[in-house]
Each structure stands twice: as structure tokens, then as C-alpha cells.
């Protein structure tokens, strides 16, 4: 049965290839730092469940140490910018069709694999479908653009070098959210919010949950980190327990409210700061500023949807 294990293996092999290519890049003065960073990340993907808690903790500290001490650098480009511009002009907007292959495959797999429970783990159909979408898009791109099998790995390594340490930020913040939940932060936030939310007011609880998801996401930088805290504080005890809301609606739209916070914070560095750096924008917060007019109406709509659909 195909499940999360196979997805981790695929990701681990990819990062291991990035590590090997980084080690071979003699023009990069920090190639060994890059190689060590991607190799450790590959190890966590391939054998993290067998390393144990202590070894995984040491691995994370090593990743932080390499990044914090400035051990990462930009790798060498195999292709010239002028060459990439020529190829982009030749293919035009059709290149974006490759990007659409991934979500379309993920959607089709999520809907279709549920009828094949013996083939794909029902708990992980979306992630498996997403991985299959990546493989399919890669295969189509290699045939269409007539590239060798090593070229995607070289370009992937170049992109990951540009992103740097921010590539692991989502995993780190999601783990931090789990730690906060285990530490009882949700209960503390719940006690504080109970003094603000009028007793028995469903509307106030919905607004507090939606705004709390967005604001806590802005602080944490990731909705996955905010979700366990705010759900334990407001979602479960008030919206679901007291007001009998639909758990699926509360959780799903609550996450969307959190993503509105992602649009408005530089703490979501991999989404908002890294693109500004890659595009060499003068204002590092330009992406955040451009997204705020969209994020605020979306947040209001998500809060309204919880009110209308969850009860």
C-alpha cells in the first residue's frame, strides 16, 4: 500500500541528490555547508522514524547551527540568465500548464483513490496524489522541453539554494505548534479568551476563533502551528463542544482563516520574504503589502462561512 512512507522516501532521495550536487559544486565556497544541510534533511526524511527522539533533536540542532552560523551559500547556475529568458520567450505562458498538472493530479487522486483503499492509504491520499502530480509534471516537462534526467535536479538544487534555510520553516513551525499544544498553551489561551467572549455568544466565539487563527498565524508564521493552539482554546470547547458546530467545517474554514494571516506576516518567510529576495525587490515586505487588501476581505468571508455553515 502506498502511503506517507513512500512520499518521505521520494523527498529524501531528492534532498540526497541536492546534497551530492552541492558537494560537487567547487565554485560555491560554502558547498560543504550546503551539502551537510541537505544531507541532514534527507536523513530525517529517509530514517527519521528510526533515529529516535534524541537523535532527531540533535539533527534539528545541527540544521539550525549550519543555517545560523552562515554555512549556506548560493550554488552555481548551470544555465545563463539570457538562455533562460530565450527559453521562456519561446514557450511563453504555456509553461504554466506544467504547474497546473500538480493540483489537477492531486484533486483527481484525492477523489479517485478513495475507491482503491488497497492501493493507497486512505489517510494519505492527498499527499500521495500530490507526489504523483509532481512526478507526472516532471515527466511531461522533461519530454516537452527535451531535458536530460539530471537537469531537473540541478535546477531544483539551484532553487533550494536560493530559498535556503526557509525551506524547512513550515516543518519547524508545525512542530512548534504541536509542542505548544502538548505544553497546554491552548488551555491558557482558552482561559484568557473566556474572560473576553460573552458567555453563550456563538457569534463572539466564531469571530474570536477566526481572528485568533489569523493573528496567531501572523505571530507563528504558519497556520499549522496556530491550528492546534486555537482549536484547543476555542474551536473544540466552544464552537464544537458548547455550540455543537460541525467539526469538519470549523477545522477546515478555521485553517483558511489562518492562511489569511499567512498572507499578512513576514514571519511566513518562505512565502513572503523569500519571493521578494528571489525577485530582487527593493522592499522586502512588498509581497506582504500587496497581499493585505486580499487577505482582510478573505478573513471576513471565512468568519462568515463558519457562522453560516458550521451550525
Q: How confident is the model over 234-273, as pLDDT tens digits? A: 888 889 998 999 999 999 999 999 999 999 988 877 678 7
Separation CA 182–CA 232 (nearest Å): 10
pLDDT at 79 > cutoff 70: no
The reply to whether 272 falls in a domain is: yes
Number of domains in the chain: 2
The reply to whether 172 falls in a domain is: no
* pLDDT tens digits for range 96-109: 888 899 999 999 98
Catalogue the long-range contacts made by 287-290 (C-beta closer than 8 Å, 24 or more residues apart): 288/263, 288/264
Q: Are residues 9 and 137 in the same domain?
A: yes
pTM summary value? 0.72
Q: Tell me, what's the pLDDT at 254?
A: 93
Q: Tell me, what's the pLDDT at 80?
A: 65
Separation CA 71–CA 51 (nearest Å): 24
Separation CA 164–CA 159 (nearest Å): 9
Grid coordinates in use for 198?
460573552
Q: Which residue, among 194, 201, 214, has the nearest Cα to 254 in the 3D structure?
A: 214
pLDDT at 202 > cutoff 70: yes
* pLDDT tens digits for range 266-305: 887 767 877 777 677 788 788 889 999 999 999 999 999 9
User: Among the three residues 107, 134, 165, which one is the final residue of a domain in this structure?
Assistant: 165
User: Among the three residues 165, 195, 230, which one is the final residue of a domain in this structure?
Assistant: 165
Q: Are residues 8 and 154 in the same domain?
A: yes
Higher pLDDT, 88 or 233: 233
Q: Which residues 6+ apart lie within 8 Å of 162 measured at CB? A: 74, 274, 277, 278
Report for 30-44, 154-168, 173-187, 221-235: range of highest mean pLDDT: 30-44
Lowest mean pLDDT among 77-86, 180-189, 274-283: 77-86
Range of the domain at 239: 184-309
Q: Are residues 161 and 188 in the same domain?
A: no
Q: Are residues 145 and 265 in the same domain?
A: no
* Angle value at C-alpha 268, between 265 and 272, nearest 5 degrees: 80
Q: Are residues 120 and 9 in the same domain?
A: yes
Q: Tell me, what's the pLDDT at 297?
A: 96
User: Among the three residues 132, 165, 198, which one is the final residue of a domain in this structure?
Assistant: 165
Report for 101-110, 193-202, 221-230: range of highest mean pLDDT: 101-110
Q: Which residue, among 134, 137, 114, 138, has the nearest Cα to 124 in the 3D structure?
A: 114
pLDDT at 78 > cutoff 70: no
The reply to whether 235 falls in a domain is: yes
Q: Are residues 195 and 125 in the same domain?
A: no
Q: Are residues 278 and 196 in the same domain?
A: yes
* pLDDT tens digits for range 27-60: 888 889 999 999 999 999 999 888 888 898 899 8
φ/ψ bin of 164: left (φ > 0), alpha (ψ from -120 to 50), beta (otherwise): left
The reply to whether 178 falls in a domain is: no
Catalogue the long-range contacts made by 130-133 (C-beta closer than 8 Å, 24 or more residues apart): 130/102, 130/105, 130/106, 131/6, 131/7, 131/10, 132/105, 133/101, 133/102, 133/103, 133/104, 133/105, 133/106, 133/109
Distances (CA, A) of 236 to 202, 233, 241, 247: 13, 7, 6, 8
* pLDDT tens digits for range 101-149: 999 999 998 888 878 878 888 888 888 999 999 999 999 988 888 888 8
Q: Are residues 150 and 189 in the same domain?
A: no
Q: Are residues 155 and 86 in the same domain?
A: yes
Q: Are residues 153 and 222 in the same domain?
A: no
Q: Are residues 66 and 132 in the same domain?
A: yes
Q: Tell me, what's the pLDDT at 81?
A: 67
Q: Are residues 106 and 200 in the same domain?
A: no
Amino acid at each position: 500500500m502506498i502511503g506517507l512512507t513512500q512520499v518521505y522516501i521520494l523527498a529524501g532521495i531528492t534532498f540526497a541528490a541536492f546534497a551530492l550536487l552541492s558537494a560537487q559544486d567547487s565554485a560555491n565556497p560554502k558547498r560543504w555547508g550546503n551539502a551537510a544541510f541537505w544531507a541532514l534533511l534527507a536523513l530525517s526524511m529517509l530514517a527519521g522514524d528510526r533515529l529516535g527522539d534524541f537523535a532527531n533533536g540533535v539533527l534539528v540542532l545541527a540544521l539550525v547551527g549550519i543555517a545560523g552560523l552562515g554555512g549556506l551559500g548560493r550554488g552555481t547556475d548551470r544555465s545563463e540568465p539570457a538562455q533562460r529568458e530565450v527559453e521562456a520567450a519561446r514557450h511563453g505562458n504555456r509553461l504554466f500548464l506544467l504547474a497546473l498538472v500538480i493540483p489537477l493530479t492531486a484533486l483527481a487522486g484525492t477523489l479517485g483513490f478513495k475507491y482503491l483503499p488497497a492501493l493507497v492509504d486512505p489517510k494519505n491520499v492527498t499527499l500521495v496524489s500530490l507526489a504523483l502530480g509532481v512526478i507526472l509534471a516532471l515527466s511531461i516537462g522533461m519530454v516537452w522541453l527535451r531535458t536530460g534526467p539530471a537537469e531537473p535536479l540541478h535546477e531544483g538544487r539551484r532553487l533550494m539554494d536560493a530559498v535556503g534555510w526557509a525551506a524547512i520553516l513550515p516543518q519547524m513551525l508545525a512542530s512548534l505548534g504541536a509542542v505548544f499544544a502538548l505544553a497546554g498553551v491552548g488551555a491558557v489561551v482558552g482561559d484568557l479568551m473566556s474572560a473576553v467572549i460573552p458567555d453563550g455568544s456563538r457569534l463572539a466565539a466564531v469571530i474570536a476563533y477566526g481572528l485568533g487563527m489569523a493573528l496567531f498565524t501572523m505571530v507563528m508564521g504558519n497556520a499549522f502551528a496556530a491550528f492546534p493552539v486555537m482549536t484547543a482554546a476555542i474551536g473544540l470547547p466552544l464552537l464544537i463542544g458548547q455550540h455543537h458546530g460541525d467539526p469538519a467545517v470549523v477545522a477546515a474554514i478555521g485553517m483558511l482563516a489562518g492562511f489569511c494571516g499567512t498572507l499578512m506576516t513576514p514571519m511566513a518567510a518562505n512565502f513572503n520574504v523569500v519571493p521578494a529576495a528571489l525577485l530582487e525587490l527593493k522592499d522586502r515586505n512588498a509581497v506582504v503589502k500587496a497581499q493585505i487588501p486580499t487577505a482582510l476581505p478573505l478573513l471576513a468571508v471565512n468568519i462568515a462561512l463558519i457562522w453560516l455553515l458550521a451550525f
